[in-house]
Structure 1
Amino acid sequence: MHKNTNALVKAIRLATLAVIAAPASVLAGGFSLNEQSASQMGVANAGAAANPENATTVLFNPAGMSQLSGTNISFGAAVLDIDAEAKSGAKAVNQLGGDVEGSRGGDIADPAVLPNFYLTHEINDSIDVGFGIHAPYGLAADYENDFVGRYFADKTELTAIAFTPSIAINNGQGLSMGATLNIMYAEGRLSKYQDIRGGVYQQGIQQALAAQGVSSLDQLPPSVQQVIQQQAQQGAANLGDAYEANFGAPYADIEGDDIAVNFRVGFLYELSEQTQIGFTAQTGTEFELEGEIELQGYPAPSAQSPLGVAPQTLTENVTVPLAIPESATIGIRHQLNNEVTLLAGATYARWSRFKELDIYSREGQAGQVSEATGRTGDDPITHITEEWKNTWQFNVGGIWQATPEWALKAGYAFDESPVDQYVTARIPSEDRHWLTLGTQWKDVQSGWTVDLAVGTLIFADDAKVDDREYSHADPTGQPISNANYQAEYELSAWSAAFEVSKAF
């Protein structure tokens, strides 16, 4: 017993360290991660709410712990590698409508390693408890520095770690109920290059109006209006080009972190000896990622500079709200005979909670960035319209128990993308098909089980990005500048996972 306890403690420590070090990944279906368990990945997570094979049921349906005896552990990792690159023809214009030169940005997604660890323990015939560590959400994109759409996106990162204490009870007559508390820690980063031309243009207009002794262009004859606008635009273009040639474009980098909590409840019911059905529901929540914005190279008046301005670095404390959706999953498992098990499931996620990606000041109008950019009131420092939609994921799969030791698995899932009209450079997304194969080896005498799974993601179409700048006050109205980035992205991916489980 003492030897087993030491091994368990070591496994928990290793799993915790691995999750903390794990990078995130670009995804098609929002920023939820599907690769949480090799045993379930082998069947594309089909029927996971009704198929408590091992301790991973802590995540998929805590009620399933009631069907496990004694103490169970499962731990492993998945590798997810997505290729996401803009096709030839990607183009962008700046805030004045001028062409932006640059590259397609390269492959924006690096391989991600996603570890996990789960534990269950039977208290008595009616009560089981469990615990899990996993990465429920992740997002990562990183463009090359000369990316043509650099005024819209450079780096996008989200890494979330969940610690999930769970409990399950059963009535001894085929019905089990469970609950999980998800305590999530998240870190996020957003960065991009800044286009100063729009601000310089507006400043030029205001200076011309002051010289004319009026407060609005409408107070001037149309011919004078046209001259002022042309002069302001030419001046902004010249200064913007000269500034970037001498100092480079200003660069905004935002980082923050937060802890959020949500809940999952689950039910599992045995319809017969061959068939059971499971249902889980998860509450929504919201991270308030608190951190700092650093705006490097922002122009400030300088008598020593031949341009009249020189770069300075500004900082300000900020908050980035990030909505996490409610979701509901149903699963069914049917044992056709002693060798073949059929699985199916569906998940509905309320991604419509994610309407915008905004950065808010925690210092008010006195913050360095707010003061320099003229931000006032409750307006965000920057705004990105998202307006995601609710989604479905459908899964089917099967298990063939070829021998007492070996099982073969296969699965298919259709994963709907929540990104609809506003497809951005930060999250180029499309619907996807997920095909998986898996195998399981079990030593009946010792209780050790090893699962291996591989999968491929086939995207339904190229992701069509049409990124523009919108106002926070009118997020779905007309763009507030001429700035635009358009591209089609080629997306493909593969994944592989392993898992080791043990029943004590």
Structure 2
Amino acid sequence: MSAPSASASGLSFYETGGPEVGLAGAGMAARAQDATTILGNPAGMTHLAGDQISAGFQVLAGNSRYAMHDDATLDGNNPGNVLSPLPSASVFYSHSIDDRLKIGVGAYGNFGLAAHYGDWAGAGLVKDAGLIAFNLQPTVAYRVNDKWSVGAGLGISYGYFSLNRDAAGGEQKEKDYDWAANAHLGVLYDLDARTRFGLKYTSETRYDFAIDPQLSFSHTFRPVPDGAGVTVSRSWTLPLAAMVNSPQQLMFSGYHALNEQWAVLGNLGWQDWSRFGDSTIEAAGSEVSSGNKLQDTWHAALGIQYRPNEKWRFDGGIAYDTSIYQRQSDTSLTIPTGAEWRFGVGAQYRLDARSTVGAAFEYLRMQGSSVQNPLFKGEFETGHLYFFSANYAYTFD
């Protein structure tokens, strides 16, 4: 179970292969319709009858192409599309102690990065960078009264980070793993039988990888067209903190059933990306740019559900996330992201009284960005990501 490529105005995902894909994540902290609420809002388990299991699988494919400008210092090939298709999966299980007390566990991947630059002009900086994060989250929820429910989960996260780049003696490979923990806290308020609101807080996840972020290398460039090559030494620092850590975040959601057939869902969210610094670049011993390029991000989503009969439910949603960057004209090579629009559709079909299957598709349009680093100055084109997911849910006696 691995996390897909960079997205969600950073590297943290809303998608884990469940019904939330078809809703573009709308209502995730208030929906409480299956065991995936363990991640969306732990308090939502109090709305689940009996014991339930939900499993999901998804594949992410996409395109985010990088092209260097003519005035970039590095001379050579462009990396082209840096995103690679990746699968991910999740399993959530909820158990009822009684009508008020629930316990559960989730195993999922919703955070990570996979960037493949290959044998391009900047292969001495980075050829491949990858983070795979696997999370195990034991959770408990309690219904305080008819209106209020609370929940809490402990996220135990295993992270594996790798970085490949060319060096004088051949390809240099660095890799390391680390364990980290985070907290998931949620509250759910039932206004009435048709309306509920949820608030979920997730603490920061911080890994400590033994990876040297400082890159030093020599390269040849031509200061003028058709001129003689000049060999210079450069150094560059990876924005490692932003690449491998997940920020604290808040998600507020609402769910309202208009009638027996139609329901509307919505989100407002915040992620603390400004906490993580960005890269410092030096050229020939002189600092070229430094400082924090990152900012907090904001999220909004709106979704609908339609039930034509007892067998079928159709989902649809749209979401928007602001960019982690203060300026899209000055971003990082190794974190290709920007403001994002999500459009999701999905369907759930009840096989019998206990089991449900579903499928969903989501399209993500990612804002393009520019990299001003003189070594590899260039632009990421508008990114297009595609999520394909399938899920299964079962209720035990």
TM-score (norm 1): 0.68
The alignment-based identity, stated in percent, is 25
Equivalent residue for 2:360, pick from 431, 437, 453: 453
**Quick check: 1:176–1:268 contact (8 Å CA) kept in 2?**
yes
Q: Give the letter aligned to residue 86 of structure 1.
A: Y
Structure 1 residues 293 and 331 mapped into 2: Cα distance closer, same or farther (>3 Å)? closer
Which shows bigger deviation, 346-355 or 32-41?
32-41
> What are the equivalent positions in structure 2 for 1:171-186 lying under 5 Å apart?
171-186=144-159
Structure 1 residues 326 and 132 mapped into 2: Cα distance closer, same or farther (>3 Å)? same
Structure 1 residues 384 and 492 mapped into 2: Cα distance closer, same or farther (>3 Å)? farther
Residue aligning to 1:284:
204
> Structure 2 CA distance, aligned partners of 1:329 and 1:396?
13
Residue aligning to 2:178:
258
C-alpha displacement of 1:430: 1.6
> What are the equivalent positions in structure 2 for 1:48-447 lying under 5 Å apart?
48-87=28-67, 89=69, 92-93=72-73, 100-145=74-119, 147-193=120-166, 251-290=171-210, 322-356=244-278, 387-421=293-327, 422-445=330-353, 447=354
CA displacement 1:23-72 (0-9 Å, x = unmatched) = 63132511112211431111111111111111100000000001111110
Residue aligning to 1:34:
14
Residue aligning to 1:7:
none
Match of 1:59, SS state, is: helix
Number of residue equivalences = 365
Q: CA RMSD in A?
A: 2.7
> Structure 2 CA distance, aligned partners of 1:444 and 1:23?
32
> Structure 2 CA distance, aligned partners of 1:270 and 1:324?
30
C-alpha displacement of 1:291: 5.8
> Structure 1 CA distance, aligned partners of 2:291 and 2:173?
19
Structure 1 residues 293 and 427 mapped into 2: Cα distance closer, same or farther (>3 Å)? closer
Which consecutive residues of structure 2, in runs of 5 or more, have no partner in the other structure? Answer: 219-239, 281-288
Q: Give the letter aligned to residue 496 of structure 1.
A: F
Structure 1 residues 91 and 425 mapped into 2: Cα distance closer, same or farther (>3 Å)? farther
Residue aligning to 1:215:
none
Which shows bigger deviation, 274-283 or 184-193?
184-193
The structure number with the bigger radius of gyration is 1
**Quick check: 1:43–1:398 contact (8 Å CA) kept in 2?**
yes
Structure 1 residues 193 and 425 mapped into 2: Cα distance closer, same or farther (>3 Å)? farther
**Quick check: 1:250–1:297 contact (8 Å CA) kept in 2?**
no
Equivalent residue for 1:463, pick from 354, 369, 389: 369
Q: Give the letter aligned to residue 332 of structure 1.
A: G
> Structure 2 CA distance, aligned partners of 1:357 and 1:416?
21
Structure 1 residues 28 and 119 mapped into 2: Cα distance closer, same or farther (>3 Å)? closer
Residue aligning to 1:494:
386
Which consecutive residues of structure 1, in runs of 5 or more, have no partner in the other structure? Answer: 1-18, 94-99, 195-247, 299-319, 359-382, 469-482
Q: Give the letter aligned to residue 433 of structure 1.
A: W
C-alpha displacement of 1:499: 0.6
Residue aligning to 2:232:
none
Which shows bigger deviation, 158-167 or 34-43?
34-43
**Quick check: 2:67–2:79 contact (8 Å CA) kept in 1?**
no
> Structure 2 CA distance, aligned partners of 1:259 and 1:85?
32
**Quick check: 1:92–1:486 contact (8 Å CA) kept in 2?**
yes
**Quick check: 1:152–1:425 contact (8 Å CA) kept in 2?**
no
**Quick check: 2:124–2:217 contact (8 Å CA) kept in 1?**
no
Q: Which has the higher strand share?
A: 2
**Quick check: 1:30–1:419 contact (8 Å CA) kept in 2?**
no
Which shows bigger deviation, 430-439 or 33-42?
33-42
Q: Which has the higher helix share?
A: 1
> Structure 1 CA distance, aligned partners of 2:365 and 2:216?
40
